[in-house]
Structure 1
Amino acid sequence: MNVENLLRETLADMADEQVPPPPARFLAHRPASRRGTALAAAVTVVALAMGGTIAVKTLSPEAGRPQAPVAARPEPQRMHQVTTDGGWRVTRLFDSLSRVTGQPADSFARAAEDGRALGLPPYAKGRLEGFAYPGTYRFADSATPAEILTGMVARFRETADELGLASRRAPRDVVIIASLVQAESPTEADMPKVARVIHNRLARGLQLKLDSPLLYGLGRNGGSITSEDTMRRSPYNTYRHRGLPPGPISNPGEAALKAALHPAEGSWLYFVLTDQKTGTLGFATSDKEYSELIRRVARTRLSG
């Protein structure tokens, strides 16, 4: 008998009853009739909500157990997290991403070669250095090096838009100055004053004479500069060349970008690290003040 006829008979039986059937009729356990089994097989389904996916299972009339779902929620992907600090060079960034993802550092270096695919702004001139914005990033295990770096560039562009960087006459110079400020400032509080020193020296046509760009050009991450180093012909040697180095030397954060855009008011031309333990900078407006700072540092080291 088909389902339509079964339903018709059931409705007819109920219409013939003069009084409502007693509750026991429905509560008492009775063997399943042929009609009840057929109805259950015809109309029973189970819908399970799994996150955002609906999986529908049909009950088998023979086994009475759910069959395999016709739609299943995909397995959640493993997620990675990496935090980068302002002032990291791309070489350090690639090494860190390699450790987190297990992908070779060279794969990130190759991805960085296609600046257009990464969404770099035109004034980046195709170089990632300076435009991989520092911060905390989470990404799936399946993310490619290009996708990861693209996310960092997108964060830079978002910040740059908020700061109005693209509207500046020379936005690339701002990023270069910000990278110098990031490298030379022990604390964020010093950044606006360090930026002012750089702006003042550029305005007067003075050599910047900063260690950080020279070290970058030499491929070194730190250490002392020797008189021999200051004679190197590297384009990043600001002891030999006037003006800014040819490109950013690190990836600056928001505080350094803001300082480059809005340096503190002042006539300083020099800054010196006067206390390495506390990271204290001293600022000078003249050669005389600068010499005094140097003598003070010398006396402190002798007494220490």
Structure 2
Amino acid sequence: MRVANQSGRLKLVGDGVGVDVEVASQGRFTSDPQAVFDRWDEFRLWAESIDFHGAEPIVESDLQAPVPRPGQIFAVGVNYRDHVEESGLSLPEAPFVFTKFPGSITGPYNNIELPDGSVDFEVELVAVIGRAARHVDASNGWDYVAGVTLGQDLSERQLQLSGPAPQQFSLGKSYAGFAPIGPVLVTPDEFADPDDIGVSTRLSGDEMQNSRTRHLIFPIPELVAYLSSILPLSPGDLIFTGTPEGIGWTREPKRLISTDDELVSTADVIGEMRHRFIPSRHHSATSSARSSTNV
């Protein structure tokens, strides 16, 4: 099953067409794409009977974030062995977790305001929680996932890495638009193997990242188990699962995002996101901090 947020309305998607869920269900489910996660199991059963005959084409430019208002956004750092190596770090013994704030969510084709500093790309598979999860066993982790979507963990490296430990990971990764997701959410059964999904990044036509989620150090079921052992996970929460090697910050010379660039992110079955960047109308917090500290 594939679902989308088209102009703020929940759609079931099939072969380029979409069924409006509120209309087709005669109001049983609302048009709100976020609300459906609280009734995900019931929704999946209902959706099995939907006929796409006569459905209207999906308008790509109208697609928005399939999870527009997540309550919690978890992000996992250095979760691919090759990314650990390019970052000069040691293999983690447990998932390294930080947060992205919900205000950073944007859609799959929006323009993104580029702040001052050093903005980098990190393509990631994003898991969406579909059931309340607490103390989940890893062997059952997929049972608590509504589906997966594609994401970019955009990062302004100067703010992210500023100051002594603990550094500003969450702020540096949470500028407006720094958590684009989409274009659709896909349920795990749509994949030949949901633990082996290809993800890639192209920046202005040049391939930067290309890997598969089978290389995750901590795959999605283990992340669900680990996080739910610490706090409750709620329907509609997001887990950004980590990025593979190829980020711009560790390249020599560095390859960071500019307003001349187009960022294209791709995942098997899920599809493609495309983003362009526009100049910031305001100086960033990083710029102000550098000015005040002469760093």
The TM-score, its normalising length taken from structure 2, stands at: 0.25
Structure with a larger share of its residues in strand: 2
Largest Rg, 1 or 2:
1
Structure with a larger share of its residues in helix: 1
The TM-score, its normalising length taken from structure 1, stands at: 0.25
Larger RCO: Structure 1 or Structure 2 (Cα < 8 Å, ≥ 6 residues apart)? 2
